[in-house]
Structure 1
Amino acid sequence: MKKVVGLLLLLVFAASLAAQGLYMPRNIKAAYDKGTRSLKGVPGVEYWQNKGVYDISVRVDPLSKIVTGSETIVYTNNSPDTLKELVIRFVNNLHKPEAPRYDYFSSDFLTEGLKIKTLSIDRFIYKTDGSNWGTVSPIELAKSILPGQQVQVKIEWSYPLSKESDREGQIDPQTFFCAYAYPRISVYDDYNGWDQLQHLGRQEFYNDFNDYNLKVQAPKNYVVWATGTLQNAEEVLSADALKRFKSSFTATEIVPVATAEQMKQGFITAQNEWNTWHFTADNITDVTFALSSQYVWDAGSIMVDSVSGRRVSMQAAYKEGAADFKQYVNWGKYCLQWFSSKWPGVPYPYTTMTAIQGFADMEYPMMVNDASIEDLKDSRLTLDHEVAHTYFPFYMGTNETRYAFMDEGWATAFEYLIGIEENGKTYADSAFKALRVERYINDPSAEQDQPIISMSSQLSGVGYGNNAYVKPALAYLALKDLLGDALFKKALHQYMTNWNGKHPIPWDFFYLFNTATQQNLSWFWNNWFFSNHYIDLKVKQMDANTVQVENVGGFAIPFYVKMVWTDGSERSTHYSPVVWKGTQSINIKTSTNKKIKSIVIDGGIFMDATPDDNHLLL
């Protein structure tokens, strides 16, 4: 009988989720109606996603700065739909002069873009014209792909590496970061169909979870670093370098796999005219690689899973003399272990993490491309932020193009939390406010107050940056305060477990947290994600024994009320965001046997738009 009652209560709770009062676009609603997604926040019984198996061979010519390649993609249509076209995505066509872009770029940014030499789908050969390819290009199929069917796509291509870029291209004449270096099949999903949004250079990415077999040809004395596990170190490294490289997998200290002098003298790679570096990675959203004939190469390892004892290789490649990158292996080991054990508290899921000194401050699966920064604390927080992206969007395949807050907001929140451990709370609060919050809260323009749920692809200027990074990070930290660490982590882990290797959307996150906490948090979601609120509290005296704290801006934030009495004693009381549920003001009793002198309200990192009305002298 108890089991029956429990089941009935669960069903009643699940039914209540259906009436939570969250705005839902028609295409998203249709996905829930079809059963591909569940109002419990988990993948529905009809959930599906497509997959590609990529076999890629590329060659980088350091003299011409041309990347040439060929690939075979075995693409499986797991959807219930018959596909009459394939949509091919090549991000680096952003460099073509006629490509739409979010901002002005100099002439050094421009290239001829992608040239397709051959394209065939199941042996049907397509005519190609490189001038017609954008960052996204649909191809009408000669034969439709039925549900459950596979097709084999073969492409040969080439493109030039841009002189001036951010996420990819030429770092210097002998160093190249080759992100998005291969044509890929765009995502076909259950709520939008084909993802045909052009890449404009600002919004980030949305990819399927694929398996990759990557081979990179580079001249001798060029080291290649890439997403995945290097399969043929014995073939591409000299005997001494191989010994050092292998020892780094268990080393607790930094192993100098390649010094600047060793690179200069040609002591690191096999001395073939060209070496082929072979990497593999499965069930991951992208692969990328970098190569250099002059970068220093450090490596070490760290245990990320105390249960299995599994270790991860942490590597760094950089110009000699970069003071911050000399510490990147140790910094990286610390953050890999911290993210694995603290927040989010999920063991780092991959074999390696490689940091390349570049210019993007950008994340890729198992790799980051960071600029060298003189301020070492700032540099370390940059690394922390980019490595945090391992979980959002790579562990969970969020749609960064449309909903950037689903990954940038989390990475920004984790950046703050690990910063407390690394630098102390005083510095972490100060840095977070200075680097993240101040520009948002001190700018009263309308762009700042757009709802977080607004599609990132529709935002521009300051509206994009703060909707993607600052406001959602504050929302997640406010939710952590509201729920408490234990319940917040329980819900977060359930969310990550259910959507690992899949494609959650914002409503999946909202509903899963409701289910995991057994609370209807729709008031919080509406307050933070669907409103035009901002942060602004105000304190005013009501009578001799009562003050009122008014939530002028509307966001449900945590805050402290500090009372000071005339005898010098004081008390600081913490208020959870829950106090704002259903109200925009609260009354606080001040009466004691002592006379009160002053009252101050302080949101900490939740900076106030009008701080002058946050204190009273009585």
Structure 2
Amino acid sequence: MYKNIFSLFFGCLFVTVMQAQELYMPRNVKKAYLHGTRSMTGAPGKNYWQNKGVYDMQVTVTPENGMVQGFETISYSNNSPDTLYELALRFVNNMHKPNVARSSTVPMQFITRGLQITSLKINGEPYKVNSDNWGTVEKIKLTAALMPRSKMNVEIAWNYPLSELSGREGRIDSTTFFVAYSYPRISVYDDCDGWDMLEHNGAQEFYNDFNDYKVAVKVPANYVVWATGDFLNPDEVLQPAIAARLKDSYVSDSVVHIATREEMIGGKVTRQNEWNTWKFSYNHITDFTFAISNHYVWDGGSTIVDKNTKRRASMQAAYAATAADFTNSVAWGKQTLHYYSNVMPAVPYPYPKMTAFHGYGDMEFPMMVNDETVPNNLLSARMLQDHEMSHTYFPFYMGINEARYAFMDEGWAVYFTYRLSCELFGKQVGDSILANSRIKRWNADASAEMDMPLITMSSQLAGKAYRANSYNKAVAAYAALHSLLGEEKFRQALHHYMKLWHGKHPIPWDFFNSFNTATAQNLNWFWNNWFFSSHYMDLKIDEVKTGKKDCVVKVSNPGGLYIPAKVIAYYSDGTTAVKEIHVAHWGFNKLTYKQISFVQKPNVAISKITIDNGVFADANPENNVWMK
């Protein structure tokens, strides 16, 4: 009885404290909580819903002219309580059109005519559309409204030319293409923003529903297709020896050379039909992507990603024979899949395979990454692949709205890669990489745009401000959160959040609230400081008072961000003493300075005192040192 009363009291106190320290919330987000689609506990609300499409596509790629032609049927479920009078169609590759707004200038080789829709039917009714003037997202007025919790059938025939200049997608070489964002898709309709009508400008990334995909890709003989999803018909399109090697790689701990360049160009890999149709499928994923080549090397291997079920995932690589770093891709990828599955975030890799494709753009897709070659720096090549692979969890597994909240995606990807680098190369090297490649780039720049609050919508940021918030400031926030909570509690809270929201669409407040609940702490003081303020990282030694018995150091926090640090005293006999400042000192205790005492040893002077911020690179390191 006493235990129940205590638990009830603590629970009420926790909720009361949380409500007393509310976080800023936009009006549309408040509306979602009011309607019960989201909960202040951080869990999806009792009325949570999300829409879904079932895509059946046939796509043909003609390498000679770089044309993509397709036909799709989409069974679209409106699971919302709203009547939809319009349908929003999205085609990201229209960003190649000459009249579309972009975040930066592009060369002429980037420009194409964009999407051409040759046929559109909705529930069997033909719609006349002129796609010539479409941007990257367009609304179509429905002749018959789509009622709540009902379905519609959409049929689209389309074509578009692949860009001659490869970035996130397009032509890699004369016979190699990375074919992404290749089909018209129904844009997201959600409980916070309704139809997602944000135009894609090449900077901010994406936001997609969880859909089911069944795709047939038709290409000429001798072209191999690597794609998202389960490969359904290897025996129909591959020659027997190659199909056998591929299947061997699915269970092999070693790297299997599925196809060499000589076999590819010698016609010994695919069936020698004039055209081959490669079939793939997968359910409840946010996108489908594929790539083709008639000369790329093809490697494979596998690793156990779920130690309880012994489930394996295939790791594959496709690359030009000249890309020396890619010869390591399968071995690297197996290590990475194992680490992410078992150590951090310690969630078993959720898909059956991952393919590292040698291209450009350094971009992630479900079950694929499109990375450039970095032949002269294997460390950079390794970390690039690791970073893109980490996006499996954020955004794909977790359904993040990257276009609005990139810090929920890129920040975690950088953090997971940082943790992996510490495992592979040692903490000192991992810390150095993070501090120098990410955090200093933000915190050492005093430009006003570098101090935009993390919560600022990514679509409203440009240039270095976008990169600072999405990557550099975000990873610092997650590292500070880890320092605050400790490894065990941090991992438990992260797992709680991911268990609640994987396969759905969390927003920042779901993240904040789920961590509050999982830790049984009101962390709003931390969220406010790191996500809703314009603070930066700058600690300072204000004064040092030396006495006969002790030396008192006053450390202040003029930058305002709550970060951990070590204060180190150097004695004249070569010894040191270290005192730590914890994140909670600044925020939970609401103090603007820290007073630290060091013992004065007999006949031994303190000659120097420094502040060591670790990865939290200080904006003004010159005021972190005191010399006697």
Matched, 1:598 2:602: no
Alignment partners' CA distance in 1, 2:597 and 2:4: 45
Report the residue type matching 2:598 in the other structure.
T
Partner of 1:587: 595
Query: Which digits, 9 at most, give the CA deviation of each residue in 1:62-82, with x for residues without a partner?
Result: 011100000000000000000
Alignment partners' CA distance in 1, 2:181 and 2:210: 15
Alignment partners' CA distance in 1, 2:328 and 2:16: 52
Partner of 2:392: 390
Mapping of 1:300-379 within 5 angstroms?
300-373=301-374, 374-379=376-381
SS in 1 for 2:222: coil
Task: Compute the displacement of 1:322 (Å).
Answer: 1.3
Alignment partners' CA distance in 2, 1:384 and 1:213: 28
Partner of 1:214: 215
SS in 2 for 1:590: strand
351 and 541 in structure 1: CA distance in 2 versus 1, 3 angstrom threshold: same
Matched, 1:617 2:627: yes
Give the TM-score normalised by structure 2. Answer: 0.97
Alignment partners' CA distance in 2, 1:190 and 1:539: 48
CA contact (8 A) 1:18 1:39 kept: no
Report the residue type matching 2:338 in the other structure.
Q
Alignment partners' CA distance in 2, 1:599 and 1:528: 28
Query: Which digits, 9 at most, give the CA deviation of each residue in 1:362-417, with x for residues without a partner?
Result: 10000000000020001100111111100000110011000000000000111111
Task: Compute the displacement of 1:424 (Å).
Answer: 1.8
Alignment partners' CA distance in 2, 1:166 and 1:84: 36
Query: Which digits, 9 at most, give the CA deviation of each residue in 1:583-603, with x for residues without a partner?
Result: 221111123334322111011
Alignment partners' CA distance in 1, 2:370 and 2:289: 10
SS in 2 for 1:150: strand
Partner of 1:261: 262
Give the TM-score normalised by structure 1. Answer: 0.99
Alignment partners' CA distance in 2, 1:477 and 1:506: 17
Report the residue type matching 1:584 in the other structure.
T
Task: Compute the displacement of 1:515 (Å).
Answer: 0.6
Report the residue type matching 1:561 in the other structure.
V
Partner of 1:108: 109
Alignment partners' CA distance in 1, 2:490 and 2:93: 39
Mapping of 1:178-193 within 5 angstroms?
178-193=179-194
* 2:487 equivalent among 485, 493, 496: 485
Task: Compute the displacement of 1:15 (Å).
Answer: 4.4
Alignment partners' CA distance in 2, 1:498 and 1:558: 29
Alignment partners' CA distance in 1, 2:178 and 2:19: 47
Partner of 2:513: 511
Task: Compute the displacement of 1:61 (Å).
Answer: 0.1
* 2:579 equivalent among 573, 576, 579: 573
Query: Which digits, 9 at most, give the CA deviation of each residue in 1:133-172, with x for residues without a partner?
Result: 2100001001001111000000000000001131000011
Task: Compute the displacement of 1:564 (Å).
Answer: 1.3
Task: Compute the displacement of 1:350 (Å).
Answer: 0.3
Segments of 5+ residues of structure 2 without an aligned counterpart are none
Task: Compute the displacement of 1:128 (Å).
Answer: 1.9
SS in 2 for 1:294: coil
Alignment partners' CA distance in 2, 1:20 and 1:281: 43
Query: Which digits, 9 at most, give the CA deviation of each residue in 1:154-202, with x for residues without a partner?
Result: 0000000001131000011100001000000000000100000000001
CA contact (8 A) 1:67 1:158 kept: yes
Task: Compute the displacement of 1:425 (Å).
Answer: 2.1
Partner of 2:419: 417
CA contact (8 A) 1:14 1:39 kept: no
Task: Compute the displacement of 1:558 (Å).
Answer: 1.2
Alignment partners' CA distance in 1, 2:472 and 2:441: 10
CA contact (8 A) 1:124 1:142 kept: no
Alignment partners' CA distance in 1, 2:545 and 2:579: 20
Mapping of 1:63-462 within 5 angstroms?
63-373=64-374, 374-462=376-464
Partner of 1:470: 472
Query: Which digits, 9 at most, give the CA deviation of each residue in 1:342-378, with x for residues without a partner?
Result: 1100000000000100011110000000000020001
CA contact (8 A) 1:17 1:39 kept: no
SS in 2 for 1:27: helix
Alignment partners' CA distance in 2, 1:615 and 1:345: 39
Alignment partners' CA distance in 2, 1:522 and 1:163: 49
Partner of 1:501: 503
Query: Which digits, 9 at most, give the CA deviation of each residue in 1:310-368, with x for residues without a partner?
Result: 00000000000312100000000000000000110000000000010001111000000
Report the residue type matching 2:560 in the other structure.
G
SS in 1 for 2:301: strand
* 1:558 equivalent among 552, 561, 564: 564
Task: Compute the displacement of 1:435 (Å).
Answer: 1.7
Alignment partners' CA distance in 1, 2:173 and 2:152: 39
Partner of 1:530: 532
Query: Which digits, 9 at most, give the CA deviation of each residue in 1:32-81, with x for residues without a partner?
Result: 11111000111000110000100011000001110000000000000000
- 138-147 vs 4-13, greater mean Cα deviation: 4-13
Alignment partners' CA distance in 2, 1:45 and 1:592: 61
Task: Compute the displacement of 1:130 (Å).
Answer: 2.3
Matched, 1:607 2:617: yes
Alignment partners' CA distance in 1, 2:18 and 2:396: 28
CA contact (8 A) 1:234 1:242 kept: yes
Query: Which digits, 9 at most, give the CA deviation of each residue in 1:254-303, with x for residues without a partner?
Result: 10111000001010001111111001111110010000001000000000
Task: Compute the displacement of 1:440 (Å).
Answer: 1.5
SS in 1 for 2:324: coil
SS in 2 for 1:18: helix
Alignment partners' CA distance in 1, 2:5 and 2:36: 25
SS in 2 for 1:324: helix
CA contact (8 A) 2:391 2:409 kept: yes
Report the residue type matching 2:18 in the other structure.
L
Report the residue type matching 1:460 in the other structure.
A
CA contact (8 A) 2:581 2:594 kept: no
SS in 1 for 2:304: strand
Report the residue type matching 1:421 in the other structure.
E
CA contact (8 A) 2:439 2:476 kept: no
Report the residue type matching 2:206 in the other structure.
F
Report the residue type matching 2:493 in the other structure.
A
Alignment partners' CA distance in 1, 2:535 and 2:542: 21
Alignment partners' CA distance in 1, 2:599 and 2:543: 12
- Paired residues in the alignment total 618
Task: Compute the displacement of 1:542 (Å).
Answer: 4.4
Report the residue type matching 2:48 in the other structure.
Y
Two-structure CA RMSD over aligned residues (Å): 1.1
Mapping of 1:19-30 within 5 angstroms?
19-30=20-31
- 317-326 vs 568-577, greater mean Cα deviation: 568-577
CA contact (8 A) 2:577 2:598 kept: no
Identical-residue share of aligned pairs (%): 52
Segments of 5+ residues of structure 1 without an aligned counterpart are none
298 and 540 in structure 1: CA distance in 2 versus 1, 3 angstrom threshold: same
CA contact (8 A) 1:563 1:599 kept: yes
Query: Which digits, 9 at most, give the CA deviation of each residue in 1:422-476, with x for residues without a partner?
Result: 1222222222222212221221100100000000000011100010000010100
Alignment partners' CA distance in 1, 2:16 and 2:297: 58
